[in-house]
Amino acid sequence: MPRPEFPIGGLAVSGIRLYQRAVSPRKGFRCAHAALHGGESCSAAVVRIIREDGVLGGRRRIAARFGQCRAAHDAIHGGSPLAAGSSLEARGVCCIGPIPIPFRCG
């Protein structure tokens, strides 16, 4: 398993861990992907991807996960073409949270 690129990977993982401990328990909602499908949250998935592929090497997998989270959010909150498996391009923020994580898929 490749180690994260330092300092980028180490800083990214440290920032995500801080978010998981300090922000996530207080934000009032949970990861839409984890809520809909079960399993790990986006933050846990991104940490795993960074550990496996590094920040730069894992950027496509990270963006894909955020796209899946957006589709899960849309499915939970009334559906959308993205949730129905459309080939539309996804742009936005993960989980529609107060801390925007921009992504682009497609």
Establish if 17 belongs to a structural domain: yes
**pLDDT cut 90: percent of the chain above it:** 49
Establish if 38 belongs to a structural domain: yes
Establish if 57 belongs to a structural domain: yes
Write out the two tokens for 28: 């009032």
Output Rg (C-alpha) for the chain, integer angstroms: 14
- Residue 80 vs residue 18, higher pLDDT: 18
Count how many domains the chain has. Answer: 1
Residue 84 has pLDDT above 70, yes or no: no
Find the range with the poorest average confidence among 21-30, 33-42, 94-103: 94-103
Write out the two tokens for 58: 């894992």
Q: Which residues pair with 102 in a beta bridge?
A: 93
Question: Rounded to an integer, what distance in angstroms lies between the CA atom of residue 54 and that of residue 64?
Answer: 15
Establish if 3 belongs to a structural domain: no
Tens digits of residue pLDDT in 30-78: 899 999 999 999 999 999 999 999 999 999 999 999 999 999 999 988 8
Residue appearing with tokens 């801080």? 18
- Give the domain range for residue 40: 8-105
| Cβ atoms 90, 72 nearer than 8 A | no
Establish if 2 belongs to a structural domain: no
Residue appearing with tokens 């790990």? 40
